[in-house]
Amino acid sequence: MSDKISQLLDQKYINLETYRKSGKAVCTPVWFVIENDTIYVITTKDTGKVKRLQNNQNVRIAPCRFKGELKGDWMHGKARFAEKDETEQAIKLRKKKYGFQARLVGVLVARKGTPVVIAIQI
C-alpha cells in the first residue's frame, strides 16, 4: 500500500473534491473504504458528485472531519465508476468498517436510488 493511501487507514471521512463544467471545485465529506490501493466511495446515481465525475474524472481527496474540516494534505487522483464485482465488495467493506451506521445508511440510500461506487486511484 502506498504511503499516501496508508495515511487514510485510520480515518473515517475524506473530503472528495470534484469539478463542475465551469472548473469550480465542489468538496463533499464522504465515507470511504480502501482495497488494493483503490479508494471506494458509495453514493447514488443522482448525486451531484456522480454528475460532475461524468464530465471530469480528476479529483482531489484529503482526510477530514464529519463537516469537512481538513485533517491532512490534499492528494490528486483519477476517479471512475466501479464494475459490478468491485461495487459488491465495496459495499461489504463499508458494512464492515462502519457497522450499524452503514446498514442504516444502506437502507436509506436504497430508497433514493441505485447505488454507485466511485473508485479512486491516487
Indicate the CATH number of 3-121 among 2.60.40.1220, 1.10.10.10, 2.30.110.10, 3.30.1280.10: 2.30.110.10
pLDDT at 115: 85
Chain centroid offset of residue 13 CA: 9
Band of pLDDT at residue 111, cut at 50, 70 and 90? low
Q: Categorise residue 119: left if φ over 0, alpha if ψ from -120 to 50, beta otherwise.
A: beta
Helical ranges in 1-122 per DSSP H: 3-6, 48-55, 84-112
pLDDT at 110: 61
Q: What gap in Å lies between CA 11 and CA 65, rounded to an integer?
A: 9
Band of pLDDT at residue 118, cut at 50, 70 and 90? very high
Q: What gap in Å lies between CA 4 and CA 75, rounded to an integer?
A: 8
pLDDT at 99: 86
Q: What is the pTM of this model?
A: 0.92
At 73-110, the pLDDT tens digits run 999 999 999 999 999 999 999 989 998 777 777 666 66
At 5-57, the pLDDT tens digits run 888 999 999 999 999 999 999 999 999 999 999 999 999 888 999 999 999 99
Domain-by-domain residue ranges, the chain?
3-121
